[in-house]
Amino acid sequence: MILVVLFANSEGNIRIEKMPSYSQPLTPHREAWSISSCKPRNGVASLRDDSLDTYWQSDGAQPHLVNIQFQKKVQLQLVVLYVDFKLDESYTPSKISIRAGDGFHNLKEIKTVDLLKPVGWVHISLSGTDPRETFIHTFMLQIAVLANHLNVNSVWPRP
């Protein structure tokens, strides 16, 4: 799984985090990434390295978590994941929850997405049902892998 988060600053500039086909982000990194568990050499760095040949591999019970904490409140619009069932088979996520909040203490679920043998980029809009709600405003974003195909406990999200 490759993870992309689209940010918008107060001037409306969009910064893309983690999508190989795009160039330099428009603003500097101001976030801390953490994960719930990982196998050796398959941690956060593998999740963020822009290579489809590397991946984050969890090493614990579900849910598997990716946490992104920001220094200040940010506007988020979209999460994009690269997943490949043909390559990763049962390790591919089948159910994902997107959560946001001020910190771990008050995360609220924004979206739950079911993935059926996905191959390629999956775009998850964070906006609400109101078309005027194009962004969420948050200090923290959490991507939770709730289930994998064939109920396997590990996950191999590609960077």
CB atoms within 10 A of CB 110: 21
Q: Is residue 66 part of a domain?
A: yes
Q: Is residue 157 part of a domain?
A: no
- Torsion sign, CA atoms 67, 71, 76, 81: negative
Give the domain extent around 108: 2-151
Kindly report the CATH number assigned to the domain that includes residue 119: 2.60.120.260
Q: Is residue 142 part of a domain?
A: yes
Task: Read off the pLDDT of residues 86-134 as tens digits, 9 standing for 90 and up.
Answer: 887 777 888 999 999 999 999 999 999 999 988 888 888 887 666 666 7
Q: Is residue 69 part of a domain?
A: yes
Q: Is residue 156 part of a domain?
A: no
- The tally of domains found in the chain comes to 1
**The pTM of the whole model exceeds 0.75:** yes
Q: Is residue 95 part of a domain?
A: yes
Task: Read off the pLDDT of residues 9-54 as tens digits, 9 standing for 90 and up.
Answer: 333 333 334 444 433 343 445 788 898 888 888 888 877 777 777 7
